[in-house]
């Protein structure tokens, strides 16, 4: 009969009675060496306790919420030579490029479009519908390649959602929030500031000046390139014609080729009252009022970013999220430091909870919840609805051009960004997830270059994502959730920022850098960072995936000291077994 072995908590330094926050195994599970058994959390960081060898789990002696110390029994295990094979069936592990590059999408033709035979006001070699980040990039690149370009934009200024009511203004307000919180955090170190006086009007004007500098710059770039800008809302009349309507009237543009860059809109919830106190993400940037209380509906990136802003400005913030986790789809170990910090600051975080009714009253908005731990109805000064975005494909009469659009408003495209109509391209949010400005930029360049006759395809191995919360959360490539679900044979290197001199000097040691490696090729397939400036650090890891780097490539690259960028090298060294800044027992 096989021998039963006890697996206990190893040396965890000076920490005792630490919390078990996750149990990764159940009785009967087959595990391999280095598989995580439990996750424990000290005052400084969360860490996984790995399996010392392969085997089959017998009795699990701990549960979430238990406290353990060095020597505490985790589980009993029957060693098995074949456990690795039982637990991880042989799979063909895709290369990083196959995991991360966009799939070839098959498009189906729409109904044959009619022809337009009316008068045409403007003839254009290439028309770009939408002047957001992707649209103006496509227009400028095409102009640089010698094409006659018309750029159609419904907003008074170029830049679309990102520059006007998205990426840029939100980051300005997040910077203001960061300054407030850093000043407050210095109290315990002998530098004390008074309570800040918030002038929402002045803050809004500063934010608008930043936006104005960028949009004015785009106007100048368009003129320098002789890009024709037409203001108004554009809709297709035929496969070669677009009607643009504005307050001044309407114009018809005839084109040889077109790039659709019409973006997306804020999604909303059905049944909400028509009340100015209910905001979408664009409204929330205006700081029309700083209410006493704010409920953010949606625990995704946009909702949590604006929650950080309003919290720092003195508003009592609550968050409600339909799923059981904040930022659904992001690895839990990356979200955990953020959730721990905001749970201590916000009034309430309700996960697995649905908003079933909102009633407008003079005193506020009364919200009714439903869920296992739903509270009684509560009154809030304002609501921010941040439940995602919907593509605009159904709002541009694409069927009149013969362009196929699915029920979600998404236009399928191939790797050259062509729709099912060969001379019409689509880029950005309107072609689907991930709806990110930096993805749209690269897609715009591909579409413009193909339209100009060049051989190009969109072939990104990885597209990074960033939540500019406090702390920031950034990730790229394969997530650990995906790796486990897909049966990928992977390993990981983790470096907790509690061991980083730079993070300690910032008084922000809750962060972590984690890199996933393909155990077959040794190459980086994914990475995640949580902590201040995580969004800046993720670029190096994106480049590592693009270049097919392995742990040695990163670890042997000399990083400046003391910096947060060192944590990238140290995470690689942790996987490679060469890390000296922490003691990690050799793998058996």
The per-residue pLDDT for range 187-196, each reduced to its tens digit, is: 999 999 999 9
Q: What pLDDT, in 10s, does the model give residues 544-564?
A: 999 999 999 999 999 999 999
User: What's the confidence (pLDDT) of residue 91?
Assistant: 30
At 585 the pLDDT is 67
Let me know: does 457 contact 415? Beta carbons within 8 Å.
yes
pLDDT at 33 over 90: no
Closest Cα partner for 516 from 468, 484, 469?
484
- Is a pLDDT exceeding 50 seen at residue 86? no
Q: How confident is the model at residue 485 (pLDDT cuts 50, 70, 90)?
A: very high
pLDDT band at 113 (very low <50, low <70, confident <90, very high): low
* 279 — pLDDT class (breaks 50, 70, 90): very high
Which pLDDT score is estimated for 111?
59
Assess contact for 228 and 150: CB atoms under 8 A.
yes
Say whether pLDDT at 255 is over 80. Answer: yes
What is the reported pLDDT for 88?
A: 36
- 3-state DSSP call for residue 163? helix
pLDDT band, very low/low/confident/very high, at 508 (cuts 50, 70, 90): very high
Give the mean pLDDT of 147-160.
Answer: 96
Q: Does 1 score more than 80 pLDDT?
A: no
- Percent of the chain at pLDDT > 70 equals 93
Q: How confident is the model at residue 334 (pLDDT cuts 50, 70, 90)?
A: very high
Whether the pLDDT of residue 103 is over 60: the answer is: no
| Residues annotated as catalytic (active site), given as ranges | 561
Calpha distance 530→500 (Å, rounded): 13
More confident residue, 332 or 97: 332
Decide if pLDDT at 11 tops 90: no
Give the mean model confidence (pLDDT) for residues 361-365. 97
Structure confidence at residue 440 as a pLDDT band (50, 70, 90)? very high
Q: What is the pLDDT of residue 110?
A: 56
User: What's the pLDDT at 503?
Assistant: 96
User: How much is the pLDDT for 36?
Assistant: 85
Around 32, how many Cα atoms within 13 Å sit in the side-chain half-sphere?
Answer: 10
Residue 314: its pLDDT value, please? 96
Q: What is the C-alpha to C-alpha distance for residues 158 and 217, in angstroms, rounded to an integer?
A: 9
- For residue 102, whether the previous peptide bond is cis, meaning omega lies within 30 degrees of 0, is no
User: Tens of pLDDT along 364-421?
Assistant: 999 999 999 999 999 999 999 999 999 999 999 999 999 999 999 999 999 999 999 9
- Both tokens of 580, joined, read 């000296």
pLDDT value of residue 21: 86
Q: What is the mean pLDDT of residues 143-160?
A: 97
**Least confident span in 35-49, 62-76, 119-133, 563-577:** 35-49
pLDDT at position 586 is 58
Instruction: Report the pLDDT value the prediction gives residue 587, as an integer from 0 to 100.
Output: 55
Work out the average pLDDT over 487-503: 97
Q: What is the pLDDT at residue 114?
A: 65
Torsion of CA 281, 285, 290, 291, to 10 degrees: -10
What average pLDDT score do residues 473-485 get? Answer: 97
Mean pLDDT to the nearest integer, 254-276: 96
Q: Higher model confidence: residue 584 or residue 346?
A: 346
Assess contact for 123 and 241: CB atoms under 8 A. no
Q: What is the mean pLDDT of the chain?
A: 91
63 burial level (CB within 10 Å; 0-12, 13-18, 19+): exposed
What would the mean pLDDT of 557-581 be, rounded to a whole number?
A: 97
């Amino acid at each position: 009969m096989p021998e039963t072995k006890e697996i206990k908590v190893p040396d965890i330094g000076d920490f005792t009675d630490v919390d078990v926050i996750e149990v990764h195994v159940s009785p009967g599970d087959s595990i391999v060496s280095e598989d995580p058994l439990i996750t424990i959390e000290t005052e400084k960081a969360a860490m996984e306790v790995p399996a010392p060898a392969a085997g089959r789990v017998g009795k699990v002696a701990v549960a979430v919420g238990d406290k353990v110390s060095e020597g505490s029994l985790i589980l009993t295990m029957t060693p098995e030579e074949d456990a690795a094979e039982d637990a991880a069936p042989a799979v063909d592990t895709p290369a990083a490029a196959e995991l991360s590059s966009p799939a070839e999408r098959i498009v189906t033709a729409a109904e044959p479009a009619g022809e337009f035979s009316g008068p045409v006001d403007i003839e254009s070699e290439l028309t770009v519908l939408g002047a957001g980040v992707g649209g103006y990039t496509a227009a400028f690149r095409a102009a640089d390649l010698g094409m006659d370009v018309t750029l159609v934009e419904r907003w008074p200024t170029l830049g679309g959602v990102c520059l006007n009511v998205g990426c840029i203004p939100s980051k300005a307000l997040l910077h203001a929030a960061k300054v407030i919180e850093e000043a407050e955090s210095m109290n315990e170190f002998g530098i004390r500031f008074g309570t800040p006086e918030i002038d929402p009007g002045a803050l809004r004007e500063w934010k608008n000046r930043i936006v104005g500098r960028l949009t004015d710059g785009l106007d100048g770039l368009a003129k320098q390139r002789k890009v024709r800008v037409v203001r108004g809302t554009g809709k297709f009349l035929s496969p070669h014609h677009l009607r643009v309507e504005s307050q001044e009237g309407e114009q018809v543009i005839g084109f040889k080729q077109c790039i659709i860059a019409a973006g997306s809109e804020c999604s909303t919830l059905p049944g909400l009252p028509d009340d100015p106190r209910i905001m979408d993400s664009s409204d929330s940037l205006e700081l029309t009022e700083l209410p006493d209380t704010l409920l953010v509906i949606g625990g995704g990136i946009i909702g949590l970013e604006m929650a950080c802003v309003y919290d720092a400005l003195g508003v009592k913030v609550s968050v409600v999220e339909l799923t059981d986790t904040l930022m659904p789809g992001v690895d839990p170990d990356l979200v955990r430091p953020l959730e721990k910090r905001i749970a201590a600051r916000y009034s309430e975080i309700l996960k697995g909870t649905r908003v079933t009714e909102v009633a407008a009253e003079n005193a506020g908005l009364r919200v009714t919840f439903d869920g296992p731990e739903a509270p009684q109805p509560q009154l809030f000064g304002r609501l921010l609805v941040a439940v995602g975005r919907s593509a605009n494909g159904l709002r541009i009469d694409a069927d009149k051009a013969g362009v196929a659009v699915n029920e979600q408003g998404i236009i399928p495209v191939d790797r050259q960004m062509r729709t099912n109509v060969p001379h019409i391209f689509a880029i950005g949010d309107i072609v689907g997830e991930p709806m990110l400005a930096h993805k749209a930029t690269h897609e715009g360049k591909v579409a413009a270059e193909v339209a100009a006759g060049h051989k190009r395809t969109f072939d990104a191995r990885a597209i990074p994502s960033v939540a500019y919360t406090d702390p920031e959360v950034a990730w790229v490539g394969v997530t650990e959730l995906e790796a486990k679900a897909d049966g990928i044979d992977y390993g990981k290197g983790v470096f907790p920022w509690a061991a980083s001199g730079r993070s300690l000097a910032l008084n922000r040691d809750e962060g972590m850098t984690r890199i996933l490696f393909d155990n077959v090729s040794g190459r980086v397939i994914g990475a995640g960072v949580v902590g201040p400036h995580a969004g800046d650090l993720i670029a190096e890891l994106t480049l590592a995936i693009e270049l097919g780097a392995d742990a040695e490539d990163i670890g042997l690259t000399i990083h400046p000291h003391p910096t947060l960028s060192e944590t990238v090298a140290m995470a690689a060294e942790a996987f490679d077994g060469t890390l000296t800044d922490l003691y990690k027992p050799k793998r058996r």
